[in-house]
Amino acid sequence: MRWLKPEVYPLLGAMTFVTSMCLFQLTRNVFMNPDVRINKDHRKTSVLENYEEGEKYAEHRLRQFLRTRPPEIMPTINRFFSGTAKEN
């Protein structure tokens, strides 16, 4: 008798992917976010004057890359259903 059915594999894959995304974001925030203060010296100050560091954190490479891309997920399907597909 199997304790894990094959129908559960896609769900496990999706949950593993989502959990890894959450762990990545939490780790990124703890170690790179300028507003998170782990160091005792930074915790003593109430307001940090680190605008450059905050801008660097907010404007990461993925965001810079996506800013140059069109805001469509599947442009070919969008053109097909909107009737603006190229005719040969």
With a cut of 50, say whether residue 88 has pLDDT above it: no
With a cut of 90, say whether residue 71 has pLDDT above it: no
Question: Bigger pLDDT: 56 or 22?
Answer: 22
**pLDDT band at 78; cut points 50, 70, 90:** confident
Domain map of the chain by residue range?
7-39+49-82
With a cut of 60, say whether residue 87 has pLDDT above it: no
Cα–Cα distances in angstroms (integers) from residue 68 to residues 59, 71, 76, in the given order: 13, 9, 18
Return the closest-CA partner of residue 15 out of 26, 25, 23, 27.
23
pLDDT tens digits for 1-20?
578 888 999 999 999 999 99
